[in-house]
Chain A
Amino acid sequence: AQRVTQPEKLLSVFKGAPVELKCNYSYSGSPELFWYVQYSRQRLQLLLRHISRESIKGFTADLNKGETSFHLKKPFAQEEDSAMYYCALSGARGTGFQKLVFGTGTRLLVSP
């Protein structure tokens, strides 16, 4: 079965510190991985996806198929990064698995 695991419910760091939000997945096919973010009182929005290989708001994430991981990283956290972060998985385009499976989320709290 498809599964996304985010082991940390809460990650608390100081401003300027590096951040790594962990995400591991279980999927037998070719995966597509996403990070979604939900700021306080706002809706869920896409932060980045692995196929884009881009950096958004200083965040990056690399898909490691060997370790089945898609950790989200930022070298220097900012207070405005405080939010709920969800890792999500779907099958690659053209596969039969066209739905998002979400992890349980990690709350990132960046203190001044």
Chain B
Amino acid sequence: GAVVSQHPSRVICKSGTSVKIECRSLDFQATTMFWYRQFPKKSLMLMATSNEGSKATYEQGVEKDKFLINHASLTLSTLTVTSAHPEDSSFYICSAGRDRGVHEQFFGPGTRLTVL
């Protein structure tokens, strides 16, 4: 149990367009979802934490208007990269937790975003 999916797994877009990434908890209700970004050969960096029904909490240095996060239901969170630019190219990973803490997180497979 405790499976998290992400869609799409890969996306290539033109500079200036917006891209939406979905994160779903398939067999449990996720009160908290986390969005991470991973650069090549680097660690995962937390971008934001979202609790269902409330606004996301963004980490320092992450632009809220650039990376829009919506967590409208207990099984779905979305990350929209607005007006994407090549420097936004990265691997985006979501995770979902069953409680409001970090102590039991289940990770999605990640989404590779390439902005041309």
A interface residues with partner B (beta carbon < 8 Å): 9, 32, 42-46, 49, 86, 90, 93, 98-105
Contacts and interface: CB of A to CB of B under 8 A. Distances in A.
A106 to B, nearest CB: 11
Interface stretch (B14-22, B62-70, B74-82, B105-113): B105-113
Contacts of A98: 49, 100-102
Contact of A93 (B34, B101, B107): B101
A26 to B, nearest CB: 15
B13 interface: no
A105 B34 contact: no
Contact of A90 (B4, B41, B103): B103
B31 to A, nearest CB: 12
Interface residues of B, number: 22
B105 A100 contact: yes
B30 interface: no
Contacts, number: 46
B43 A99 contact: no
Contact of B46 (A9, A46, A100): A100
B57 to A, nearest CB: 9
A93 B103 contact: yes
B42 A44 contact: no
